[in-house]
């Protein structure tokens, strides 16, 4: 006799990084989550620096800034900028699509399947393009501003 086995497709934490045969949007979602967590850690570090060091006056602040002014942290900051640009614009796409914009009308799932998101994939591609351009703008600033 067959038993009901609940949550057989339950991936647990593995589902946070592995999307299997799902399409582009699912991988964008995973990146959204990774960048979100990254920005959260940066936010906490940023708050520590801008409160504890700043309230102690100019000397402590400028000493902290000299320590932080090295290639490793600069690269990290660039990655945070990229993560922010990605998270913001992909989030904007998610909000618009949740409200029903930028996607086609839903139809019954008849083979060959074509979901409402994939029919307007061009919008998603356009947003990825804008993200890439902004990443290049920040890269220019990162190079000009010194490592």
Partner 1 sequence: MRYTYLWLMQLVTGVLIAVLLGIHMVIQHLEDILRFLGFNLNDPASWQSMMERSREVIWAGIYIALLAVVLYHALNGLRNVILELTPSARTERAITWTIVAFGVIVFAWASYVPIALLSR
| Angle between helix 71-98 and helix 121-144 axes, rounded to 10 deg | 160
Candidate residues 13, 72, 110, 122; the one interacting with partner 1 per rule CB under 8 A: 13
Query: Residue 89's closest CA among 26, 31, 46, 18?
Result: 31
Smaller CB separation from partner 1, 5 or 98: 98
Smaller CB separation from partner 1, 123 or 138: 138
| Diameter of the chain measured on Cα atoms | 75
**Judged by CB under 8 A, does residue 76 bind partner 1?**
no
Residue whose pair of structure tokens reads 């991936």 in the numeric block: 11
Cβ atoms 124, 25 nearer than 8 A: yes
Candidate residues 17, 31, 43, 130; the one interacting with partner 1 per rule CB under 8 A: 43
Smaller CB separation from partner 1, 98 or 122: 98
Cβ atoms 92, 99 nearer than 8 A: no
- Burial label, 90 (beta-carbon count in 10 A; 0-12, 13-18, 19+): buried
Distance from C-alpha of 59 to C-alpha of 65, rounded to nearest angstrom: 10
Q: Which residues, 96 to 115, sit near partner 1 by CB under 8 A?
A: 98
Candidate residues 25, 28, 38, 81; the one interacting with partner 1 per rule CB under 8 A: 81
Smaller CB separation from partner 1, 84 or 123: 84
**Judged by CB under 8 A, does residue 145 bind partner 1?**
yes
Note the residues at the interface with partner 1 (CB under 8 A): 10, 12-13, 15-16, 33, 36-37, 39-40, 43-44, 47, 50-51, 54-55, 58, 61-62, 81, 84, 88, 91-92, 95, 98, 137-138, 140-141, 144-145
């Amino acid at each position: 006799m067959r038993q009901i086995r609940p949550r057989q497709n339950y991936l647990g934490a593995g589902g946070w990084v592995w999307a299997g045969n799902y399409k582009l949007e699912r991988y964008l979602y995973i990146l959204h989550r990774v960048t979100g967590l990254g920005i959260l850690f940066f936010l906490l570090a940023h708050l520590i620096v801008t409160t504890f060091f700043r309230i102690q006056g100019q000397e402590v602040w400028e000493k902290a800034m000299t320590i932080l002014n090295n290639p490793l942290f600069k690269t990290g900051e660039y990655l945070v900028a990229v993560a922010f640009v990605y998270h913001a614009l992909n989030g904007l796409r998610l909000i618009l699509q949740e409200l029903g914009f930028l996607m086609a009308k839903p139809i019954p799932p008849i083979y060959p399947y074509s979901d409402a998101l994939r029919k307007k994939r061009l919008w998603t591609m356009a947003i990825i393009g804008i993200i890439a351009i902004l990443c290049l703008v920040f890269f220019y600033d990162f190079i000009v501003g010194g490592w």
